[in-house]
Structure 1
Amino acid sequence: MPTSSASTTDSAKSSASGGVQSLERAFDLLERMADSGGEVGLSELSASSGLPLPTIHRLMRTLVACGYVRQQPNRRYALGPRLIRLGESASRLLGTWARPYLARLVDETGETANMALLDGDEIVYVAQVPSKHSMRMFTEVGRRVLPHSTGVGKALLAHTPADEVRALLSRTGMPAATEKTITTPDGFLAALEDVRRLGYAMDDNEQEIGVRCIAVTIPDSPTSAAISISGPAGRVTEAAKERIVPVLQQVAKELSQALASSGPTS
């Protein structure tokens, strides 16, 4: 009776990139599950990935055993709780990687620099480097805010389909943080159109009176992420904005490249 060698097993097959094929497939399935809202059936995964059902079933069984996927009573598969720990650690590390780039933003703009992620329906700040000015903005790392009143929220939602944006706003509501806060879905969608047209987002006294924030997304980030500067409206003027936006866009591009290569070099 022939025995199978490691070179012929699915777990040891090499992919075109030189990696282990089954690992690449498993991570691809996890990302497809996330893109589908976190819960899918085997047939949906087979249709979207092009993999045969027996292969998907074997991979999912392994992911379930490891706790990264769980099977629902309806037989569909959902992302598992062990991913939460990985995600939290990755978010903290992402903030750590970003700090040298945020420090550059502070040096070149003079204002406080932030990095934020879209986590579910909320914005969470994962890193900050404060301005050297005595009057400066401060947002606690880990703070969560609703996206409709923030520059980073607008930047992160700018390319989300309108129906998904409306659904998010219906879940969160649109409470007014200040008299300048956008409080209608149509108004917010119009603001997102401005973001797409201009290439940056602005919070003009919408989260806090007297404070302006300018934000851009990090292109091709492994998770939706944005960087921003915030400062007193008297310093973050229209003239200052013309100088700050290109700096933000350049730093976002460099941070994107660093993340793609598994972290920045010093």
Structure 2
Amino acid sequence: MGVRRLGMVAALMAAWLWLPIPDARAETEVDVALVLAVDVSRSMDPDEQELQRQGFIEAFRSPQVHDAIRNGMLGRIIVTYFEWSGVDYQNVIVPWTIIDSPETALKFADGLHDNPIGRLRRTSISGAIDFGAKLLEQTGVEPVRRVIDISGDGPNSSGRGVAAARDEAVAKGITINGLPIMLKRPSGFGDMENLDLYYKGCVIGGEGAFLVPVRERQQFADAIRTKIIREIAALPDRSLIRTIQAEVPANCLDGERGMYRWDRN
């Protein structure tokens, strides 16, 4: 009997050695780490800021977004949302949150709904990119992709050059997508006629980068939902930029030429 028992134990041990070892990393992996970086500079009217916030809330309450998350390779993402304006102002509204179900997506939306919206001077897209890149080093998980989603209504006018910030982030493997808000006609310093071209040439970058311009108020919610779904699902890019205006090269120094004069005020 003793020999038979020893043989059975040996056989069980041999079988155990061939069993697949659970990968501890699987529990900390996500399809995408998504930074939502939202402009709250004073060039944005309060109603525009409210439309912008509400668009993100509706996106994370949307069944289409829930389906996009569930249908991912891992079925979960991690998201954070911060507001930005000048080079020294970046305020995290909702910290890194794992979303792996409709319930956790709704909780993220509730976090946006329950926090007030800031409104400050100046526009530092470069500061937002730099801050977003730092946040992506603090997720505590292993994302398959890392994305910064920049929304705003003007060119970079504070902090360092936007192209330098973009290039450094892209060199780290980060994708930067854009949501240029173009609801008002340019009327003074900091306004830009073809903001979509500026975002295309100076802001977005990295693998699969794209942008979705918003030119009418009723487009806000649909544009944000569409953009979030594409970022979550890494959908093939049908066209880099939609309904683009005249194809002329953007000058990445536009907006930055007068920044020192404005920063002294």
> Which TM-score applies when normalising by structure 1?
0.29
Higher relative contact order (CA 8 A, sep 6+): 2
More helix by share: 1
